Structure 1
Amino acid sequence: MKLGLSMPFLSTPFFSILVKQATADAKAKGGKVVQTTNANHDASQQVSDFRNLIAAGANVILAGVVDRSAIRPALDYAKSQKVPVVIVDDAPAAGDAYAIVKADNEAMAAQAADVLAAKVPKTGKILEITGALTTTNGQDRKSGFDEKFKKKAPGVKVIKQSADWDGPKSADVMSTVISGTPHLNGVFLATDSLYYEPVAATLKARGRLVPVGKSGHLPMVAIDGSVESLNAIRKGYLDATVSQPVLDYAKYGVGYLQDALEGKKMKAGATDHKSTVVKKGSYFVDELPAPVVTKKNVDDSALWGNRS
């Protein structure tokens, strides 16, 4: 295995930890990483990155996605060079990929809804700060949360605002809503790695960042499992998060690339790692389970946020 790693950006621990783990997993299989590229949120750069990785000798590529549609030329080029690709964390809109390895975003959001619904009054209002609804993950986290929360807390009104995966924008949303809704009962963040710190800073400035068990605590639940969110759970400011299985993205992504090198064909069905491979359109998607993190299990070494 000569592994090329194409990352959409490396400005958060999410992808830097993914790179570190994938490097270790490739070495464990007797392979090596030939190069890691950083597209820095630039979709056209990621297309160039694929070409550069293959020119550098990569015979397989593990990639995150900057833009689901814009990545197609990169995937087409890899196919023309007979270089298998596994995509993690999202699915491309078109193009060839050996496998997709990701969490079930609707299921993660439904888990978050379960937790938040149990912590808020039966009436009142909560704020849902969604991700970019132009992305599959943003859409799935919104629909998964909305559907389950409506079933669990039908009397609670959900104020829905998008922050487009942008931290400063999430702070603006929080500031506007808390000003107009002083008796807000809860908050759901579609991503803690991007939203928690800006939102927490906004709440702190308003005197609303209060730990669990103290008068005035605002229940808050999120998705991702960043180091900041785990620390916030320890301090009681964040009630829970649903941790993405980042270490498993690397482990099973590299494993599928090894299968591709050996000529094995992907197939749907149960796996040996408590997940199910499903066929979605032309793609085989391994939907990995994601744990809910609370004070009870926040120190689990298997959580990627504890590897930062």
Structure 2
Amino acid sequence: MKFNRRLVLSSMLSAAAVAVACGSSPAESKELKLGLSMPTLNTPFFTVLVKAATSDARSLGGEVVQATNANRDAGQQITDFGNLITAGGNAILSGVVDRAAIKPALDNAKSRGVPVVVVDDEPAQGNVYAVVRADNVAMGAKAAEALAAALTTKSGSILEIQGGLTTTNGRDRSTGFDKKFAELAPNIKIIEQTANWDGPTAANVVSTILSGNKDIVGIYLATDTLYYDPVAAALKSRGRLHPVGQAGHIPVVAIDGGASALQAIRDGYLDATISQPVTDYAKYGTKYLQDALNGVAMKAGPTDHNSTVVKSGSYFVDELPSPVVTKANVSDPNLWGNAK
């Protein structure tokens, strides 16, 4: 019988096409069944994150099986991980209650073959596929630039209300701010006080510092979602809350970019904030989990979304850019604080 190479080749290609269609190709995308482990759901930051991740999972052809709320209890977050896996989650997108205490949860997920992406902060230990966060040192530096530009004097003191210094973000936001501000305004003293991510504490700090220091010419808040409203209320009660351009205005710059902060910028009371890319945490965190399910290896280097994946210890960290928000761009619909 005469050998027909074209016929054999055609048959091989047809068989390959059937194999792909039947799901035997290793490149086939697995269905994402996403579990969301949130440290808390009492802040817009995490409620927006959950909503965005739910939409992103659906756009990838998957679904969210459950979203849990640890209420800032590290032990509860460990339990939540187990509950998400029991509920059918084959991948977990997680915030962090405690960087060290989350390790048993990460170990449990690894032992059960469930990839994890952590957003906003970096675990102290444990296995994750990737970390998606902003460069908090850079955000602090941007806040320093914005505050230095808003000052109308080259002398006096500014109040820096730090986040929790036991957290990576708290330390990085302070380090980035202090270094850059000292370069830009070397004759202005920085008064540092931590409020441990607690709004009422931040308000007390403002009242105490203003009472004992008559030369406060600016304020830096490590978070606007937790600090701005109580701090603004404290300033108002002391007759010190005035809009930009009016006599007595104290320039205030913050980090996070929550809805109330954006409104305060529109109203003229907050000079600027550095917006966290919350919806991008959800978008790229979910994408990386789909990659993990499909067997795609994470690697360092530039991305296709204007960021760079760096290696930090054993972790691949995608450091997303954070825009400075002023009156000029405060209504940008891409800002998470403007999310509906």
How does the TM-score come out when normalised to structure 2? 0.90
SS of corresponding position for 2:144 = helix
Structure 1 residue 85 corresponds to structure 2 residue 120: no
Report what 1:28 is aligned to: 59
Which runs of structure 2 are paired with 1:233-272 in the superposition (5 Å)?
233-272=265-304
1:274 pairs, out of 290, 306, 319, with: 306
Write the letter of the residue equivalent to 1:307.
Answer: A
Q: Deviations over 1:166-221 (max 9, x none)?
A: 00000000000011112310000000000000000000001110000101100000
Kindly state the Cα deviation for residue 123 of structure 1 after the two structures are TM-superposed: 1.2
Determine the structure 1 residue equivalent to 2:9: none
Counterpart Cα distance in 1 of 2:75 and 2:108: 13
1:119, 1:127 → 2: CA distance? 14
CA distance in 2: counterparts of 1:230 and 1:34, whole angstroms: 32
The residue that corresponds to 1:210 in the other structure is 242
1:153-177 alpha-carbon deviations (Å, 9 max, x no partner): 0000000000000000000000000
Give CA deviations for 1:215-259 in whole Å, capped at 9, x if unaligned. Answer: 110000000000010000000000000000000000000000000
Q: Distance in 2 between matches of 1:52 and 1:296?
A: 45
| Aligned position for 2:169 | 137
The equivalent residue for 2:146 is 115
Shift of 1:84: 0.1
Aligned counterparts of 1:12 and 1:45: Cα–Cα separation in 2: 18
CA distance in 2, matches of 1:73, 1:307: 34
Cα shift readout 1:24-55 (whole Å, capped 9, x = no counterpart): 00000000000000000000000000000000
Letter in 2 for 1:23: T
Structure exhibiting the larger radius of gyration computed from Cα positions:
2
1:288 pairs with 2:320: yes
Cα offsets for 1:132-158 (capped at 9, x unmatched): 000000000000000000000000000
- 1:50 maps to a residue whose letter is F
CA–CA distance in structure 2, aligned partners of residues 34 and 12 of structure 1: 21
Give 1:298's aligned amino acid: V
RMSD, aligned α-carbons: 0.5
Establish whether residue 55 from structure 1 lines up as the match of residue 86 from structure 2.
yes
Q: How does 1:105-254 map to 2 (within 5 A)?
A: 105-120=136-151, 121-254=153-286
Q: Who is 2:48 aligned against?
A: 17
Aligned-partner SS, 1:196: helix
> 2: CA distance between counterparts of 1:198 and 1:212?
19
Taking the aligned partners of 1:50 and 1:276, their CA distance within structure 2 comes to: 28
How far apart are residue 118 of structure 1 and its match? 1.5
1:44 match: 75
Corresponding residue SS for 1:33: strand
> 1-side partners of 2:215 and 2:172: how far apart?
28
Gaps of 5+ in 1: none
Q: Deviations over 1:253-297 (max 9, x none)?
A: 000000000000000000000000000000000000000000000
Q: How many residues align?
A: 308
Cα distance in 1 for residues equivalent to 2:66 and 2:40: 15
Cα displacement (A) at 1:122? 1.3
| Amino acid across the alignment from 1:166 | D
Over 6 Å off, 4+ runs = none
CA distance in 2, matches of 1:207, 1:238: 16
Give aligned-pair identity as a percent: 67
How far apart are the structure 1 equivalents of 2:89 and 2:216? 51
Distance 1:115 1:192 in 2: 15
Partner Cα separation in structure 1 for residue 56 and residue 166 of structure 2: 32
Query: Match of 1:159, SS?
Result: strand
Rounded to whole Å, the distance in 1 between the matches of 2:80 and 2:162 is: 30
Q: Which residue of 2 aligns with 1:70?
A: 101
**SS of equivalent to 1:118:** helix
Q: Distance in 1 between matches of 2:338 and 2:64?
A: 24
Which amino acid counterpart does residue 94 of structure 2 have in structure 1? A
The CA distance in 1 between the partners of 2:219 and 2:213, in whole Å, is 12
Which segment is superposed worse, 237-246 or 118-127? 118-127
- Structure 2 unmatched runs, 5+: 1-31
